Structure formats: C-alpha cells, structure tokens
Amino acid sequence: MFETTVREGVLQVTRDGTRWLSGGYDGGITEAGAAYNISVPEGWGRTDLDTYVETRRSRAEFSTAGPALLTGVNLNHARGARDGPVVAYATAGISNPAALPANPSGDDGTGDSPATPPGTVNIILGTTRALGDGALANLSTVVAEAKSATLLAEAGFPGTTTDAVVVATDPAGEPVEYTGAATEVGAAARACTRDAVQASLRSRYPDREYPESVEAAEYGVETTRRAETFVP
C-alpha cells in the first residue's frame, strides 16, 4: 500500500512509480514517488508556491518531488482510512465553508473568499489498482462527491473555498477499467473518503462545533447567483 511520514508540518505519501492526478495549484497527471499535504501558518499569503513547497519539503528532509496540497489545518488532525485496494488521507477544516443553496436569493458572495486557506478539506487517495486516465479522472470525481456528501451530513456544507483532491494509481497493479460507485475501487474510495474526513473533523472539532452558517463562520461564501438554463 502507500506509506506516510509526517515531519515539520508536512505529510508525505509515498509509493514508487505512482501516477498522480492532482487538483492542486500545479495540478494534472504526473508520475512521481510521493505526494504531499503541507500545513501553512495562520496569515500565510505566499504566491511563489513552487519555491515555498520546495523549501518546506527540504526543511522536512523530503527529497522526492511530487504534487502538493496546502492547508491551514494542523497535521495533528490528519487521519487515514483504508479499505481493500484503496487508502485515503484527509485533513478537514471548515472555517471557510462554501454553501450552495438550491434556491438562492440575494447578492452573490463569492467575492469574499479569503486569499489564504484558513480551513480546507484536502484528500490524498490512492489505489493499488492500475487505472487509465479516464478511470483516474473519474476517481477524483468520486472522491469529491463523497467528500461533499460527508460534509453535508456532518456540517451542512458541501465544501470549503479551498478544497483539493489528489488521486493516485499504481501502473503495475491489477488493471481496472472503471471506478464508479458500484465498482470495487469506487466503493472503497467512497468509504475511505467518508471515514477519513469524518475522523479528521472529529479530531479538529471534538464537540462538533461547526459553523452554523456562512455568516457565523470566520470566512466563507454562499453562491447565490443564478445561471441561465437552456435546451442544447
């Protein structure tokens, strides 16, 4: 399976020869031996992200390059979950919820999003199965959907303003063509995502004192704008 190490506020997830699909700041598909989740300090506002990530990796004595996510959540609250051929690692903070009301009204609040990630739900999930590009991309969708369902059930929000997902596959593993919810990999990914996010939330908010609304949160947005609908 994948191995993890946490040092100096950096979580390293390793497995040789892995293909990663990252939705982070420098995203896309890459082949690397590791991926990272990096906790940033309060008030952090760096824009030279490549330099910052390299510096933090170096300080933690991690020499292997790979995709990285950034979070305002302390890595003491990082939690993992595994099921069959899948493992997930999550950090979950919801001080910056992003609400999506089904029947919006009022002015759109998306311009109020903070520049730094005070909360963030970051997930790194990997499978030992070999996935094609389409199945890997779909796995990212499955993880994001499971994350949103979990946050809605726990706190009433589908996400935060800065959530990100990295998914990984082992090209040398048993080939799998599909990763939907009814497949072995998809079902395990949903369970691992839910359980890792719940465990991280309950570590950071032991009394479940989640923001009751966007207005009650320290940061946050509510998408109240309406799109034009049409028949294609």
pLDDT digits (tens, 9 = 90+) for 217-232: 878 889 999 999 999 9
Cα 111 to its chain centre, rounded Å, is 22
Q: Is the pLDDT of residue 148 over 60?
A: yes
Percent of the chain scored above 70 by pLDDT? Answer: 94
Q: Is the pLDDT of residue 99 over 70?
A: yes
Give the per-residue pLDDT at 108. Answer: 55
pLDDT tens string 14-71: 999 999 999 999 899 999 999 999 999 877 877 889 999 999 999 999 999 999 999 9
Adjacent-strand bridge partners of 37: 11, 69
Coil vs helix vs strand at 130:
strand
pLDDT tens string 151-162: 999 999 999 999
Put simply, whether the predicted model's pTM sits higher than 0.85 gets the answer yes
Q: Which amino acid is at 195?
A: D
DSSP symbol at 159:
-
Contact status, residue 49 vs residue 22, Cβ threshold 8 Å: no
- Where do the domains of the chain lie, and which CATH numbers do they carry? 3-222 (3.60.70)
Neighbours of 6 (CB within 10 A): 15
Q: Which amino acid is at 129?
A: R
Neighbours of 139 (CB within 10 A): 29
Give the per-residue pLDDT at 103. Answer: 86
